[in-house]
Amino acid sequence: MATGENKLISYDSTGEDDIQFGFHLGCNGVVHILFEPIKKDDQYNPVELLRLISNTNEGAVLVTLFSMKKIQPGTRMLYMKNNIHSNLTDREQHLLIEPVNISYADKQSAFLDVDIEQTTCTGFIEYIEHPVSVVIAGAGNDVQPLVEIAAMLGWLVIVVDGRSHYALPERFPEASKVLCSKPGDILSQIKTDSQTVFLLMSHNYNYDLSFLNQILMQEFEYVGLLGPAQKRDRMLSDLQDQGIQLNEIQLSKIFGPTGLDIGSENSTEIALSIVAEIKAFLSVRSGSPLKLKKEAIHKRAISPAP
């Protein structure tokens, strides 16, 4: 703060002394933290770049440059669907554009070395996904803990129900939107994308079935059905009777009963199991115990090809 310049600080917890005299990070590794001053007159300062990301429903790539030497360029570039916001030179942008495009296409973060300001720096090419949106059909009391847990993760939650005395914003203060709507009118009132998931929890079979019918008319990633497997089979059978035949890809994205098997009994435990399954599904993970993993818990970033 005194110098107004970027500064990289390293915390080393690999030594035995860290247990008694160190920073108690508990990671048994080295952590590098880049401190950056926020200059209001700089349109490319990190806060402004993050503001641009928050105002879109698309993924983005943020480039932060740092070095173990003196030079610390900091957060210098934002890429959003062919739009670039940066104060780097054309030559420096040219060095970064290919790995940025790869990161954007693969939705993966990576590190690479790049020459900036006549110094070899490390570039953190960070893919930032826009938040998950959860559309919940049903505004019963059992939905309340689900909304709270999802909101804690930063997910956007939309609650919809056909009963006006249930679909009330004051019942779901953490929800981004609460709608009172018929099933056939829901999708016209919301925006959906690849990060949108649906949960059918109205406890009204016909309401859930009608909404599922609407969902199937568009691309979707995940639909969770509250209730036993018999309910799922009945719904699929009723859809088939209506002439709606689901393909294998669609069937693979319908989860009924929704949630992981963690022994849930009450509504809060059920909400936890549902959110955990959605997170595992979107992250392409199994949801199995970490102690059974043979490889590293966190995927190691691979530098894009030069």
Q: How many alpha carbons fall within 13 Å on the CB side of residue 209?
A: 16
**Do 67 and 120 contact (CB within 8 A), yes or no?**
yes
In the block, residue with structure tokens 């693969």: 106
Residue 153 has pLDDT above 90, yes or no: yes
- Residues 75 and 103: their CA atoms lie apart, in Å, by 16
Task: Give the count of beta carbons closer than 10 Å to the beta carbon of residue 96.
Answer: 25
Res 21: pLDDT? 47
Structure token pair of residue 278: 């959605």
> Per-residue pLDDT tens for 211-261?
999 999 999 999 999 999 999 999 999 999 999 999 999 999 999 999 999
- Residues 19 and 185: their CA atoms lie apart, in Å, by 59
SS3 (DSSP) at 95:
helix
Residue 50 has pLDDT above 60, yes or no: yes
SS3 (DSSP) at 98:
helix
- Residues 253 and 259: their CA atoms lie apart, in Å, by 13
Task: Give the count of beta carbons closer than 10 Å to the beta carbon of residue 18.
Answer: 17
> Per-residue pLDDT tens for 70-102?
789 999 999 998 789 998 889 889 889 999 999
Q: Per the confidence metrics, is the pTM higher than 0.75?
A: yes
The pLDDT mean for the chain works out to: 89
- In degrees and rounded to multiples of 5, residue 189 shows phi and psi of -105, 0
Per-residue pLDDT band at 303 (split at 50, 70, 90)? very low
Task: Give the count of beta carbons closer than 10 Å to the beta carbon of residue 29.
Answer: 10
- Residues 225 and 286: their CA atoms lie apart, in Å, by 19
Cis peptide before 257 (omega within 30 of 0): yes
Res 61: pLDDT? 95
- Residues 183 and 213: their CA atoms lie apart, in Å, by 9
> Per-residue pLDDT tens for 93-131?
988 999 999 999 888 888 888 887 778 888 999 999 888
